[in-house]
Amino acid sequence: MSSPRLDVLRWQFDLTWSLFELHLGQLQPGDFLWEPAPLCWSVRRGDDGEWVPDFDESESEPDPAPVPTIGWLTWHLGWWWSVTIDHARGRTPRDRTEIRWPGDGASAIAWLRGLRDEWTALLDTLGDTDLDAPAPFPWPDDPDKTVAHMIAWVDAELMKNVAEIGQLRLLRAAVS
């Protein structure tokens, strides 16, 4: 039986994803690594040929904050979502350095769509009592945060990343 709380969270997710699809369908290959400012975080080929995201190893917020590229944002989205799914499925979560950007825009879009499919399949397995369980991530030490909070957090993070990607796409189109 469907849960009204889960129905609302799923509706919010589906709405946000539908807005993302509008942007995904308009992205051009050159959009992903376009650097809109001198101080940017992007994804770059490492010595081993793998794509590595720029990241402050201290894991603190840099000041001033770098402007991310769409490539970096798609990696970031894939990173936090992959780790959230790992936690929700009871798997050992991967380290940030294990989550690699696929290497081009089309592959990044396919990766994100695959994460969407994995996430919605996970949501389809949840019932009302599951929503009240303690959240395994991103608040493992806060018993007041539940799986429902985690799902709402995914919706909020996705919405934020979708808006950032959309704004960068529109900005690049306007200045090109």
3-state secondary structure of 51: strand
Residue 25, burial from CB neighbour count under 10 angstroms (0-12, 13-18, 19+)? exposed
Residue 59 lies in a domain: no
Distances (CA, A) of 19 to 32, 148, 157: 18, 22, 14
**How many Å apart are CA 97 and CA 52, to the nearest integer?**
8
Mean of all residue pLDDT scores within the chain? 94
Compute the distance between CA of residue 173 and CA of residue 176 in angstroms, rounded to an integer: 5
DSSP 98-147: G--B-SSHHHHHHHHHHHHHHHHHHHHT--HHHHTSBP-SS-TT-TT-BH
* pLDDT recorded at residue 128: 75
> Residue 148 sits in a domain of what CATH number?
1.20.120.450
* Burial category of 155 from C-beta neighbours within 10 Å (exposed 0-12, middle 13-18, buried 19 and up): buried
CA angle 65, 114, 11 (to 5 degrees): 80
Find the domain containing 79 and state its range: 4-34+41-49+66-175
pLDDT of residue 3: 85
> Comparing C-alpha atoms, which of 108, 80, 111, 73 is closest to residue 94?
80
Mean pLDDT of 168-172: 97
57-94 pLDDT tens trace: 877 888 899 999 999 999 999 999 999 999 999 999 99
Report residue 141's pLDDT band, with 50, 70 and 90 as the boundaries. confident
> Is residue 60, in this structure, part of any structural domain at all?
no
Q: How many domains does the chain have?
A: 1
pLDDT of residue 106: 97
Q: Check residue 63 and report its DSSP letter.
A: S
Residue 58 within a domain: no
- What is the band of 134 on the pLDDT scale with cuts at 50, 70, 90? very high
Q: How large is the average pLDDT for residues 115-143?
A: 91
Q: pLDDT at position 2, please?
A: 67
Q: Could you tell me what percent of the chain has a pLDDT over 90?
A: 86
Q: Let me know if residue 56 belongs to a domain.
A: no
Write down the pTM of the prediction. Answer: 0.94
pLDDT at 139: 84
What CA–CA distance (Å, rounded) separates 42 from 72? 5
